[in-house]
Amino acid sequence: MNPTPVHLSLLLLLLLCDAFVGFAQRSRNEITRGEYIEMYKPLVMEKMREFGIPASIAMAQAIVESGNGNSQLTRRANNHFGIKCHEWTGPTYIWDDDEKNECFRKYRSAEESFRDHSLFLTRRPRYASLFELDITDYKAWARGLRSAGYATNPQYAAMLIRIIEENRLYEIDREVLHGPVLATKKEPAFDDRAYAVPKYPEFGQGPNDRIQFLNNRRLFVFARPGDTYFTIANDFNMHPDKLRRLNDVETQSKLNPGELVFIEHKRRRSGSNTHTAALNETMHHISQIYGIRLRNLLRINNMEPGQEPFAGDVIKLR
């Protein structure tokens, strides 16, 4: 039977819906430019102090080369600067760039990529003239990188300058050189134990002086003031999407100080039997305080995603 115009219209509508859903899913998983800057600002500041490369330049290059951290090369090879193999003896990743099947460097972490970028510039004679420039002259650095052949795009310098100015990345350089504008004294180190209760035994110290605790035999940390899933993921060398999945949250979810953030998979059930729901308590909150995967907790209680308990409801935990 030949398809009628109605059949063709319905088929086209279904294809458009599938395309829209796929696009929306990809968009939810992508890192925004603001989030990328927040996540890697400490790294470019550290490299500026150590190697003398303007933090604004390094950040702008990383934004361009990694697509705000969303490129396939960055997600699969931790390569934030598009650096090809050259004399590299480490792991590699094959990817289509200017030509098909080009060889790129593959790193174990973002920190390793940012450090190698600094070494790449400081150890090659063709970039030596950059280090004679004023470290605050980001425009001269951008033009110098283009002249030295870092990128083939003739608009590369203009792209870097525009990104620096649109996102005020030059303020990061000033912060490295002069400190935060409003800084008057060093804040005392944050004490993660301020949120701990006896039910959560202490496991040991993790990166960035974070204390790790155990809940239902699974490791977690407490969110500190100012924390996001990006900052915690960065501390544990983990992609933010993975950290969100471990904690059953959506991309746009925010963190409040004192929230439990698991750094490994929660368990399918608790050692406790039941929990009595408090007023306005959510199933997600219950899943976190007992270290249970949310989908398992919902299934145990014959509930659907988005369904929440009433105050006084007895929630089964196993």
pLDDT digits (tens, 9 = 90+) for 249-268: 986 678 889 999 999 999 99
Taking the C-alpha atoms of residue 211 and residue 267, their distance in angstroms, rounded to an integer, is 21
Residue 178 confidence (pLDDT): 81
Q: Please say if the pLDDT value at position 14 is more than 60.
A: no
Bridge partners (DSSP) of residue 202 are: 213
The DSSP result for 174-233, as a single string, is HHHHH--TT--SPPPPP-GGGG--TTS-EEEE-GGGPEEEEETTEEEEEPPTT--HHHHH
> Which class would CATH give 274-316?
alpha beta
Domain with CATH 3.10.350 in the chain: 192-262, 274-316
Q: Could you tell me where in the chain the CATH 1.10.530.10 domains are found?
A: 33-178
The residues with which 214 forms a beta bridge, in sequence order, are 219
CATH T-level topology, domain 192-262: Membrane-bound Lytic Murein Transglycosylase D; Chain A (3.10.350)
Q: What would the pLDDT profile of 111-141 be if each residue is shown by its tens digit?
A: 999 999 999 999 999 999 999 999 889 999 9
Spatial distance between the Cα atoms of 308 and 189, rounded to a whole number of angstroms: 37
The residues, ordered by sequence, that sit 6+ positions from 268 with a Cβ below 8 Å of its Cβ are 292, 293, 296
Closest CA to 230 of 210, 251, 248: 251
The answer to whether the predicted template modeling score (pTM) of the entire model surpasses 0.85 is no
Q: Is the predicted pLDDT of residue 1 greater than 90, yes or no?
A: no
Between CA 221 and CA 1 the distance in angstroms is: 62
CATH code 3.20.20.70 for 33-178? no
Note whether 256 and 223 are within 8 A (CB).
yes
Per-residue pLDDT, averaged over 312-318, amounts to 93
